[in-house]
Amino acid sequence: MFCLLAFIVLGVISVFNAAYRDLAKEAYDCVFRRITLRPCNTGFKEKMQAKLVGKMLSKSVWAARILNKNFELFSWILFLSTILSIFWAGKGLYNFYMYGSCNGLNQTGFCALDPTGENNKISAAGASCGGGSGDESVVTLEGVDLSLFPTKQIGAADTVVMIGCFACEYTRKAYPLVKQLLAEHEANFVFAHYPVKEGMMDLLDMEYCAEQQNPDLYWQLIDRLLTMDVAALTDVAQIDGVLTELGYDVAALRACEADPQTTVGVTARRIELEKTNIYGTPLIFINEKGLVGPKPYRVYERML
């Protein structure tokens, strides 16, 4: 068993250090003989055992005696540990490629490939942009009436649903990737504004009425709101300027905001969004599979 362990370890080390390549060759020869039911004829195990026990002797005679007596047992333990380490490392790499996290879809545990957790960060509901936490496993579209929300319906088999806040840096980070996804692949698109930062509630009536007044211009408005300076989002004059520039009838839009039916419509949307178990933005569903936080583009594309 030690030969197999040494082959794995020395095989890796020898790639970076030529001094270990002869030992790696001996380990390979030993392993090859063992798997063909022949004994090692190089004395490799004894040579390495003598080196390791010798080094241990300089530190502790007792420990060296234990190691020498139970060398095969320690070899098994190290071998199994090495195999488990390789397995978990491989699994982490697979998860990172597939989901943007070493720990799996929407899992926020530490990941060496994403140490700051950028791929899972959100703006928590009721808080300013920053880290948020919740139960990633329960986000869902089950029972949600998507017909209440602005939709680019092109009759595609795939559907992307983005729930975001205009002022959230993580929504803003994810939005260009979603746009790229829609440009490169045919998919229906649903957008829902879910305010999580102070001042964004005031935009609910406005963006609702803007979509009601001109559904086609609405998507240009969303582009502007998600790319303009965050501070400008709470400036009525600048928002009116954007609406005017896009071609909206601002006076009619303001009248719509004051209509009680607008409150009814906005409230209905909010009720539906709460059914998703959302706890922050962005929350993106691709074919009903929920993604919390701004994932790498490859993750979005793979799910279509």
* 105 inside domain: no
Does the residue 113 lie in any domain? no
Long-range contacts, 39-44 (Cβ 8 Å, 24+): 40/3, 44/3, 44/6
Question: Is the domain of 151 the same as that of 210?
Answer: yes
Among residues 37, 67, 99, which one ends one of the domains? Answer: 99
Confidence class for position 209, pLDDT limits 50, 70, 90? very high
Whether 173 and 286 share a structural domain? yes
Q: 124 and 238 share a domain?
A: yes
* Domain identity same for 187 and 272: yes
| pLDDT single digits (tens) 13-45 | 444 444 445 555 555 566 555 555 555 555 556
Residues 166 and 224 in one domain: yes
pLDDT tens digits along 136-180? 778 999 999 999 999 999 999 999 999 999 999 999 999 999 999
- Helix (H) / strand (E) element for 191: namely strand 188-193
Per the domain annotation, does 93 fall within a domain? yes
The CATH code of the domain that includes 224 is: 3.40.30.10
Is 109 inside any structural domain?
A: no
In a domain, residue 170? The reply is yes
Sign of the CA dihedral running 208, 209, 214, 219: negative
* DSSP structure class, residue 214: -
37 and 167 together in one domain: no
Mean pLDDT of 215-240: 95
- Is pLDDT above 60 for 71? yes
CA distances from 109 to 96, 116, 120, 121, 284 (A): 12, 10, 10, 12, 20
> Token pair of 193, please?
């504004």
Domain end call among 64, 99, 134: 99
Range of the domain at 41: 2-99
Q: Are residues 152 and 289 in the same domain?
A: yes
End-to-end, the C-alpha distance of the chain in Å comes to 45
Helices (H), 109-196: 169-184
Q: Check residue 229 and give its pLDDT.
A: 95
Residue 131, pLDDT > 50, answer: no
- Are 147 and 254 found together in one domain? yes
Domain boundary among the residues 99, 130, 152 is at 99
What pLDDT shows up at residue 34? Answer: 56
Residue 284 lies in a domain: yes
Residue 106 belongs to a domain: no
Q: What total of structural domains would you count in the chain?
A: 2
CA-to-CA dists, residue 185 to 11, 153, 179, 293, angstroms: 43, 14, 10, 21
- 159 with 47, same domain? no
Residues 10, 49 share a domain: yes
Instruction: Say yes or no: 179 and 285 in one domain.
Output: yes
Give per-residue pLDDT as tens, 82-125: 666 667 777 777 777 777 777 767 766 777 667 777 677 777 66
Same domain, 15 and 133: no
253, pLDDT greater than 60: yes
Looking at the domain assignment, is residue 282 inside a domain? yes
